[in-house]
Amino acid sequence: MDVSLAGRNYAHIMDDISSSTWVVSGGRTSAPGDPLNVPITLASNYRAGTQRGYSRGEGTPTWEALEDLVGGLEGGRAISFSSGMAAAAAVINLLSTGTHIALPEDCYHGVASLVDEGVDKGRWSATRIAGDDTAAWVDVARTADLLWLESPSNPLLAVSDVPAIVRAERRPGALVVVDNTFATPLNQRPLGVGADIVMHSATKFLGGHSDLLAGVLVTRDDAVFAALHNQRHHGGATPGALESYLVTRGIRTLAVRMRRSEANAMDLAERLEDHPEVLKVRYPGLPSHGAYEVAQRVLGGPGAMMSFDIEGSAERATAFCDALRIVQHATSLGGVESTMERRAGTPGQEHLPPTLVRFSVGIEDVDDLWRDILQALEVSTRHG
């Protein structure tokens, strides 16, 4: 299979340009007279005579603009997919029968379900480990064929010591994958410390506007790249043309969105922690967070995600979410708009603390967000 058209490998050229510049300048056209932005190419088929024949196999310029952009941010070679789950499935599909997978206790439920289905069918075995239990990860590295990390995790915000886990002695051929959706490449670049594959749900912070589904994988290893490219070619989970364009456009403002959301999140985490009706706040930027020291060392910033437990019943926590006026009561995350949801109310998440609310902090005025939270806490007290 010829993948020579697919994304450049940015492993070694990103050391002297900052991410906040690359998000603006990467993935563009360069010839005189070209539009600044790579246009939306609607094509499945190409005139014969070059290496580009059919999009599912050889891609489109619009996908490649996104892949160059994300490849540069993560420092590797990127391949885009129709969703984060399609990207995850491409990795899981690389596994042979009889392999052993280690994944976080509070792993994204779609990924955990995919692994569990394979376990039920007798294809492989899986071990669940708390994301912040570094010793257990180092231990499992000796026997696992795939270490799937997600850090910070969804929704408990566990932070993994990715550099230490990657350095652990591994079985030959074992892969370390990091779901970098929450941290974004601005706060964590796992390939730089030796991880094999980075995964993104570009639906979230990369896209940033809750208007599309997309996923990306990035690797420095040409053989792994070819295998993943083959998964997309034959699995068929190709990104949409409009979606690729919109993610590329979304990434242009990733740095300003992220820093603003993060400043809001830090401020609100501190205010929530001081509120008598909020029992526990999980946010990597708070000194009270279990993995604060690790977060300070391995993350470039605390991120825009947190979760907190409200005093009272599950009904009260749901009533709180329903009473919000500026924060959107919605399941997804990573957009310019703040969203909240009581996670234990969604299927497959019943094991979580019943009043845990996950908060994706947007870029609105922080005092407006705080007033909204206060009024919703007040209204919901009626529900005990």
Ligand X SMILES: *Cc1c(COP(=O)(O)O)cnc(C)c1O
Determine how many CB atoms are found less than 10 A away from the CB of residue 36.
7
- Alpha carbons 352 and 63: distance in angstroms, whole number: 37
Q: Which of these ranges, 78-86, 168-176, 270-278, 285-293, lies near ligand X under the rule CB under 6 A?
A: 78-86
The residues facing 359 across adjacent strands are 306, 340
Minimal distance, residue 201 CB to ligand X, in Å? 3
Minimal distance, residue 180 CB to ligand X, in Å? 9
Residue 215 found at the interface with ligand X (CB under 6 A): yes
- Which of 159, 213, 310, 376 binds ligand X (CB under 6 A)? It is 213
Minimal distance, residue 333 CB to ligand X, in Å? 6
Which residue's CB is nearer to ligand X, number 60 or number 154? 154
3-state secondary structure of 129: strand
Q: Residue 21: how many CA atoms within 13 Å on its side-chain side?
A: 5
Is 21 exposed, middle or buried (CB count within 10 Å of its CB: 0-12, 13-18, 19+)? exposed
3-state secondary structure of 122: coil
In 3D, which of 94, 151, 80 has the Cα closest to residue 124? 94
Residue 181 found at the interface with ligand X (CB under 6 A): yes
Contact 183, 159 (CB under 8 A): no
Residue 282 found at the interface with ligand X (CB under 6 A): no
- Which of 150, 161, 196, 341 binds ligand X (CB under 6 A)? It is 150
Q: Which of these ranges, 14-22, 66-74, 199-207, 272-280, lies near ligand X under the rule CB under 6 A?
A: 199-207
φ and ψ at residue 290, rounded to 5 degrees: -55, -35
Residue 343 found at the interface with ligand X (CB under 6 A): no
- Alpha carbons 298 and 198: distance in angstroms, whole number: 16
Minimal distance, residue 222 CB to ligand X, in Å? 25
Residue 185 found at the interface with ligand X (CB under 6 A): no
- Alpha carbons 150 and 267: distance in angstroms, whole number: 25
- Which of 52, 189, 204, 342 binds ligand X (CB under 6 A)? It is 204
Q: What is the total count of residues that contact ligand X (CB under 6 A)? A: 15
Which residue's CB is nearer to ligand X, number 11 or number 73? 73
Q: Which residues are catalytic?
A: 56, 108, 179, 204
- Which of 19, 60, 80, 83 binds ligand X (CB under 6 A)? It is 83
The residues facing 102 across adjacent strands are 127, 147
Residue 219 found at the interface with ligand X (CB under 6 A): no
Alpha-carbon distances of 85 from 81, 91, 223, 224, 267, rounded to whole Å: 9, 10, 22, 18, 32
In eight-state DSSP terms, residue 221 is: -
Residue 110 found at the interface with ligand X (CB under 6 A): yes
Query: What is the per-residue binding string for ligand X in 17-56, x denoting contact by CB under 6 A?
Result: ----------------------------------------
How many Å from the N-terminal Cα to the C-terminal Cα in the chain?
Answer: 61
In eight-state DSSP terms, residue 240 is: P
- Alpha carbons 73 and 82: distance in angstroms, whole number: 20
Residue 340 found at the interface with ligand X (CB under 6 A): no
For tokens 């997919």, the residue is 81
Which residue's CB is nearer to ligand X, number 26 or number 131? 131
* Beta-carbon contacts of residue 172 (< 8 Å; ≥ 6 apart): none
Q: Which of these ranges, 22-30, 137-145, 175-183, 247-255, lies near ligand X under the rule CB under 6 A?
A: 175-183
Residue 155 found at the interface with ligand X (CB under 6 A): no
By beta-carbon distance, which residue lies closest to ligand X? 84
- Alpha carbons 322 and 8: distance in angstroms, whole number: 46
Residue 84 found at the interface with ligand X (CB under 6 A): yes
Minimal distance, residue 154 CB to ligand X, in Å? 5
- Which of 201, 231, 339, 380 binds ligand X (CB under 6 A)? It is 201
Residue 284 found at the interface with ligand X (CB under 6 A): no
Minimal distance, residue 334 CB to ligand X, in Å? 7
- Alpha carbons 284 and 267: distance in angstroms, whole number: 13
Q: Which residues bind ligand X (CB under 6 A)?
A: 83-85, 108, 110, 150, 154, 179, 181-182, 201, 203-204, 213, 215
